A and B are shown apart, each in its own frame.
Chain A
Amino acid sequence: MLEISDLSAGYDGVPALRSINFRVGPQEHVAILGPNGAGKTTLLKTISGTVEADSGSIRFDGQDLLPQSPHKRVEAGIVHVPQGRMIFASMTVADNLRLGSHRRFARDRHDERRELVLDIFPALADMLGRDGGALSGGQQQMLAVARGVMACPRLLMLDEPSMGLAPRAADDIFEGIARLLKSETTAMIVVEQRAHEALEVCDRAYVLESGEVALEATNRELLTDERLAAAYLGSEI
């Protein structure tokens, strides 16, 4: 579904990704792990188009993605839930969700999608009229994921959905994601510091280090091979 080969990208000439090869199959769930500054967020941004690639290729359903502008990529089904949530603080929860279904395809399905996301994150149902900025961190993160789901993703990309959250709130997010994956057939990429939680909802993982793919393994390999776990997942396992 998503095929990335030999991709390099960076900011103002400073390379952040070097010759990345990466792939996500249809309906596959892939985790990206690795330390801060490894290029995880840059990789997602290069896929969604807010960072330009320097070389290499990204194909989605066989189509070359790089010449397409970011909003065209959303239309194709690539939906990015960014790090730091980036909800629209001055708008209500309902308006945030409505913006999630901005593109025509999703707009026509707004009502059924909203039902779906409120099933996944029931806590949001009581807050539809409240401003996004008035929500707690955990609720904002639920809203950010829900807003992404509104867009009818075929490839959902979650960047550190548990960042800055208390363990209990992070659990709520991952439970919601698990509920989502039960009812939706979307493919998914999750960037996470909490490797264990991420692997629970994923089939496969890539470990990035200094902008390069250091390891590609199935979650079974990562979770059962002590050497791999010790080397790449640190003390978290």
Chain B
Amino acid sequence: MVEFLQFLVPGILIGGVYALLASGLGLIFGVMRVVNFAQADFMMLAMYLSWALFAGGFGLDPFLAVPAVFVVFLLLGMAVHWLFIRFVIGRRENHDAQVILTIGLGLIFQNLILIKYSSEPRVVAPSYANAGDFIGDIFISRVRLYAFLLSVLVAALLFVFLNRSRTGRAIRAASENWEAATYMGIDIDRTNRIAFGVGVALTAVGGSALVTFQSITPFVGFRFVVVMFAAVVLGGLGSVSGAFVGGVLIGIIQSVSQVWTSAAVKNVWVFALFLLILYVRPNGLFGKVQRAI
């Protein structure tokens, strides 16, 4: 039992970060039906920003840097939407263009970082990087606990934003029915721009939550892109809360599977569950059933 909990607890903790990473991807897909293949590379850029703020002479703690990371990536995301994404939104024939555009952006980000910082892994190690506490017999890593708490806090703020603010309500309306939202006088282009910025910033914050226990390379995105997409599809495309549950679930499966099988095959279990859930619920756990009213 103790062994099981010793795997379950870290699984929940890392799952919270996966949830945050995935919620950004899910928000963007939900609002503008764009599958952003560059999402994991925005995360990578955010990890480098956290590293630069920590190691580059500022000595800024990566968790304290989160507000700055959020603002920078909110603006970067809005700029990328304004410069590129808005031209490939809408019509069905734009889907190919969306795929090429977002994959291309991701490649450009990776290679710019490769040129600037080489492929040498970077590490952010604050003084408490290896600290931890025993609760009963369970050891809890402090940085992972902080990362989880940060994710929960950001999730709560996102919930309040989407449900209580005027812009948040407009985003939900546009995600449910963009045409009806248009008739409400909602500026769809602006709503998309904000949703893209917020979506990128959420994943970016997830990235800075990771830097204290995940080394950074220009290609670190690959490690997380599968998890992010699986979480979004598991939870139900377009559902932000679904992406959250999907993320936590994947964290738990990855970790708990190590009680029985090697860590090398942890993603096999993720995909087994993934296929099972899609077999039983093709729209994902929280997916809306598509129907005409």
Contacts and interface: CB of A to CB of B under 8 A. Distances in A.
A102 B166 CA distance: 8
B293 A140 contact: yes
Interface string A5-48: 00000000000000000000000000000000000000000001
Contacts of A49: 182
B136 interface: no
A74 B186 CA distance: 9
B127 interface: no
Interface in B201-226: none
Nearest to A70: B182
A88 B177 contact: yes
Contact of A50 (B176, B182, B186, B189): B182
B183 interface: yes
A86 B180 contact: yes
Between A86, A91, A100, the greatest number of chain B beta carbons within 10 A of the residue's beta carbon is seen for A86
A82 B179 contact: yes
B185 A75 contact: yes
Between A49, A90, A99, the greatest number of chain B beta carbons within 10 A of the residue's beta carbon is seen for A99
Interface stretch (B4-12, B45-53, B167-175, B264-272): B167-175
Nearest to B91: A12
Interface in A98-125: 98-100, 102-103, 106-107
A79 interface: yes
Between B166, B180, B184, B292, the greatest number of chain A beta carbons within 10 A of the residue's beta carbon is seen for B184
Nearest to A75: B185
Nearest to A85: B293
B176 A102 contact: no
A154 interface: no
Contacts of B133: none
Interface in A144-166: 147-148, 151
Given A88-B177, A89-B293, A81 B183 contact: yes
Contacts of A140: 293
A102 B288 contact: no
Interface in A38-69: 48-50, 69
Nearest to B183: A80
In terms of DSSP, what is the predominant structure of the interface of chain B?
helix
Given A71-B187, A85-B293, A90-B288, A99 B169 contact: yes
A87 interface: yes
Interface in B199-258: none
A102 to B, nearest CB: 5
A106 B170 CA distance: 15
Contacts of A100: 184
Contact of A151 (B180, B185, B288): B185
A91 B176 contact: yes
B259 to A, nearest CB: 38
A203 interface: no
Contacts of B288: 90
A75 B185 CA distance: 7
Contacts of B182: 48-50, 70-71
Contacts of B184: 74, 99-100, 102, 147, 151
A151 B187 CA distance: 15
A95 interface: yes
B185 A74 contact: yes
A88 B293 contact: no
A86 B178 CA distance: 10
Contacts of B185: 70-71, 74-75, 102-103, 106, 151
Between B170, B183, B186, B293, the greatest number of chain A beta carbons within 10 A of the residue's beta carbon is seen for B183
A95 B272 CA distance: 39
A103 B169 CA distance: 13
B177 A86 contact: yes
B231 to A, nearest CB: 20
B130 to A, nearest CB: 45
Contacts of A89: 176, 293
Contacts of A48: 182-183
Contacts of B292: 84
Contacts of B189: 69
A50 B173 contact: no
A50 B180 contact: no
A137 B158 CA distance: 32
A92 B189 CA distance: 25
A87 B189 CA distance: 21
A39 to B, nearest CB: 18
11 contacts: A50-B182, A80-B183, A86-B180, A88-B173, A90-B176, A91-B169, A91-B173, A100-B184, A103-B185, A140-B293, A151-B184
Query: Which 8 pairs between the two chains have the least Cβ-Cβ distance?
Result: A74-B185, A86-B180, A103-B185, A71-B187, A80-B183, A102-B184, A70-B182, A71-B185
